[in-house]
Amino acid sequence: MAKKVKVRFAPSPTGDLHVGNIRTALFDWAYARHTGGTFLFRIEDTDTTRVTDEYIQAAIDTLKWLGLNWDEGPEVGGDNGPYLQSQRLDIYAKWAQTFLDQKDAYHCYCTPAELEATREAQRAANVAPGYDGKCRDLTAEQVAAYKAEGREAVVRMRMPDGSTTFVDEIRGEVAFDHKFVPDFVLVRADGSPLYTLAVAVDDVLMKVTHVLRGEDLLSSTPRQIRVYQAMGVKTDDYPVFAHLPFVMGQDNAKLSKRNGEVSIAWYREQGYLPEAICNYLALLGWSPGDDRENITMKELCELFTVEKVHSSPARFDMKKLEAINGDKIRALTLDEFLKWSLPFLTKAGIITGTDSEVALVKAALPIIQERIVKLDEVPQMLKFLFVKKFEVEAESVSKIADQVSKDVLKRSLKELEPLATWNHDSIEAALRASLIEEMGLKPRIAFTAIRIATTGSTISPPLFESMELLGKEVSLARIAASLTL
């Protein structure tokens, strides 16, 4: 009988979570949901110099915002806590002592200078760098001498001769010759555990069955398997590994802030919807198999399998993300669009959130929903409706200063003032009849002048709908004022 799947997302938040972190979390979450398994969230915070409470809370908030709800972990609890490694130090210390007692590990007294000298000699001899086992079999006298010098020891795991072979769910069989996996440090001299100890111990004690993580951690796998062995875990009970492909920038370099790896907080501030981010990241290294690019979270859970994850690197494409985000915005209901838009308008100082302002925003949103790709465009598109002191943008003033534009504005005032019904149909009919048919102007010439005069910019929602929302009095007053520029 197959084990119930249990996956974990275990970031070490030394800053805001980035694209690579979230792609891993997304695949873990989707796999757990697809299999009816458990998604565990654990914080690796033993590096107290870089991991802060603020970053931990930001990681929690980011997963919540993305909708990647976890079954075990911070704020949720579970039977295998605590879920912050800083609260599990006594567990790691116990296991480190067990390994020492079993002779699977030993104390190493080499100084940083000695270790560096060894590396230099290895490089000079063209030998793969790594610990040379100097402290593997120290005598009691040697240990006493080192202690007398005041040296502090780290705890090293003893790697046996031979090799480690395992089957990666994405890459197939992988083998590591132990010549290239030297004895590694489990515990620092100050008693704090290193990643390789803590991650392996936690995965075993928290009953993790599948480890989906980045390809950059592939080389650490034999070390973790060595810890499993020392813990007495049977081979059949090791977690299954699946190392996800790298995500590359457009320049085929590893992601950086320059080519795509910006924190998820940045994408949130820019106005990307969480479902759009998840949709796009799901396509980085995985495919539903039918060339679809627009999928819902529900569909992702139904379709995701590790077998469909590619082994080749994925390329991050900001344009594709924007296109998906635009599609997701267009798929929102009006109430959903309103909910997502209001925070951007209030943050930009466009509205304060009064009932009348919200009602006007709701009336205006349908005319921009097809025209934006990010939510941060909403304030720019709608600010003309709320400005207390209307001004034409400086770069647009010259575009309505010529005589043709003045004639257009004067004629539009004449045609619009008598209108008894003020809606986009009546406004368009009046202006087309006078400016296009009678004056013989091209729409671009005629309507650009009116757009600038009423909205203050060459970029705005559809003109006639914008004027309807502004109202007759405000529209005419702005056109009249623009004649004086």
* Preceding omega of 82 cis (within 30 degrees of 0): yes
Spatial distance between the Cα atoms of 13 and 2, rounded to a whole number of angstroms: 33
Which helix (H) or strand (E) is 474 found in, with range?
helix 472-482
The pair of three-digit structure tokens given for residue 88, joined into one six-digit string: 């599990």
Please name which of 206, 242, 200 lies closest in space to residue 96, comparing C-alpha atoms.
Answer: 200
Q: Is residue 40 within 8 Å of 31, Cβ to Cβ?
A: no
Spatial distance between the Cα atoms of 461 and 331, rounded to a whole number of angstroms: 19
C-alpha radius of gyration, the chain, whole number: 31
In 147-256, DSSP assigns E strands to 154-157, 163-168, 172-177, 184-187, 210-214, 240-244, 247-248
**Bridging pattern class, strands 154-157 and 6-9:** unpaired
278 annotated to bind ligand: no
137 annotated to bind ligand: yes
301 annotated to bind ligand: no
Buried b (16+ CB within 10 A) or exposed e, 230-251: bbebeeeebbbbbbbbbbbbee
Strand-pairing partners, residue 193, are 187
Active-site residue 207, yes or no? no
In a 13 Å sphere around the CA of 485, the CA atoms on its Cβ side amount to: 26
Q: Is residue 346 within 8 Å of 353, Cβ to Cβ?
A: yes
Please name the amino acid found at residue 145: A
**How far, rounded to the nearest angstrom, does the alpha carbon of residue 176 sit from its chain's CA centroid?**
32
User: Annotated catalytic residue: which of 94, 257, 347, 414?
Assistant: 257
Q: Is residue 158 within 8 Å of 136, Cβ to Cβ?
A: yes
Please name the amino acid found at residue 383: K
Question: 400: phi > 0 → left, psi -120 to 50 → alpha, else beta; which?
Answer: alpha
**How far, rounded to the nearest angstrom, does the alpha carbon of residue 166 sit from its chain's CA centroid?**
30
SS3 338: helix
Question: 43: phi > 0 → left, psi -120 to 50 → alpha, else beta; which?
Answer: beta
Q: Where are the alpha helices (DSSP H) in 111-209?
A: 112-124, 140-148, 195-205
Residues carrying an active site annotation:
257
Residue set of the binding site for ATP: 257
Residue set of the binding site for Zn(2+): 108, 110, 135, 137
Residue set of the binding site: 108, 110, 135, 137, 257
